[in-house]
Every structure is written in structure tokens, then in C-alpha cells.
Structure 1
Amino acid sequence: MMSKYGIVLTTFENEQQAKPVIDEIIRCKLAACVQEIKIKSHYTWKGELFHEDEDLVLLKTRKELYPELEKKLLEIHPYDTPEILFVDVESGSAAYLAWIDEQTRKQID
């Protein structure tokens, strides 16, 4: 059985930068729930090594909405090359997964 749900990961410099993007994603019903976690990122960008505080954002959604969610993130995310990763959710609480269905946009046939 293929997974119907997933979590999209992306990062922002801080909560203030993340909030308008999160609000738009929820307003568009592309994710049911969004969580922020303070992290430290270590990476190389344009040949320079960085050690940055960032906010990791987890967006709970349905797999069928991912293409539209990715497109929206690419349109409104402030980073030149934002992290956008989709992680399959193999299983979860039936009640929680049903809530994701209720809170996200329905597919139009």
C-alpha cells in the first residue's frame, strides 16, 4: 500500500521569516498542521562554510498535495534555494490522519 500522507521539511532564518509562509500554506489548505523547531544548520553555500541558527518547519499534508505545496513554497520562500523535502508517513493514528484529510484541500476530479 502506498503512503497517502507525508511531512514536508523546510527551513527559515527565524520565526518572523517563517510566519507569513506558514500562514499562507495553512490559508491555502496545503497543510493541516505546521510545527517549528529551532535548529543549528551546518553547510557550504557558494564555497563558504556556514553555521547558522534556523527554524526547521514540518508541514503535515497529503501526498497528492505535495506538487502544489512545493510550487507554493518555491514562489513565496525567501531563500534562493530552499530546502524542500517530502518524507512519506508510512502509518499513524487513524484519527490524526483523518484530521489531516479534513483540514487540507480536497482534490477536484
Structure 2
Amino acid sequence: MTLPLNPILGGADLVTDLVGHGITIDKLGKIQNKLSSVLNLTQLAAGASILNIGVSIAGFAYMGFKLHQIQNALDNVQKSLEAGFNRVEKRLDNLSGQLVYLHLLVEGYELFE
């Protein structure tokens, strides 16, 4: 490769240009390294966000499962209460019938006196 050199100033200009380009290339290399580290941090942050979303999904799924269990337990309590009230109602109906019978007996007894 041949470079035209000015015998007086051309060589100095060429050296200055080469040194300038070398400094620019070095600066570009440093910028590339910084951008690479920024990209790595961005990828790390994206990974953390995805992990956070995964944890949130798992948490909501677990909460849904627990809420379903609570709903089932409440349904069982409601059925038990209804069955208990039905038994009490039947007993009250029996007692009411017995009280009516006793009342009629007392009234009938009073009529014969």
C-alpha cells in the first residue's frame, strides 16, 4: 500500500490522522463495551420482569385454589345449617302438634267438668 507523503508536512499529517483514528477506534471500542454491558443489564431486567410475572401468576393461581377451597367449605357449612334448620323445623312441627293435642285435651276436660 502506498501513501502519498508530503516530504515536509505530509508525513506529520498522516501520523496525526492515524493517531486520531486510533483514538476514535479506541473510543468506539469503549462505547461498544459499555453498550454491551447496558444490553446485558437490560436482558437481566427483562428476565427479572418475566420471573416476577411468573411468580405473580403462581400466586394468583394459588389464591384461586384457596378461594375455591373456602367456597367449598362455605357451601358445606350452608348445607349443614339448612339441614339443621330443617331438623329443628320438623321438631317444632311435632311439638306444635303435641301442644295442640294437649290444648284440645285440656279444653275437652274443662267441658266435662
Query: Is the structural similarity TM-score above 0.5?
Result: no
Given the two structures, how large is their TM-score scaled by the length of structure 1? Answer: 0.16
Given the two structures, how large is their TM-score scaled by the length of structure 2? Answer: 0.16
Give the number of the structure whose residues are more often strand, by fraction: 1
Give the number of the structure whose residues are more often helix, by fraction: 2
Q: Which has more radius of gyration?
A: 2
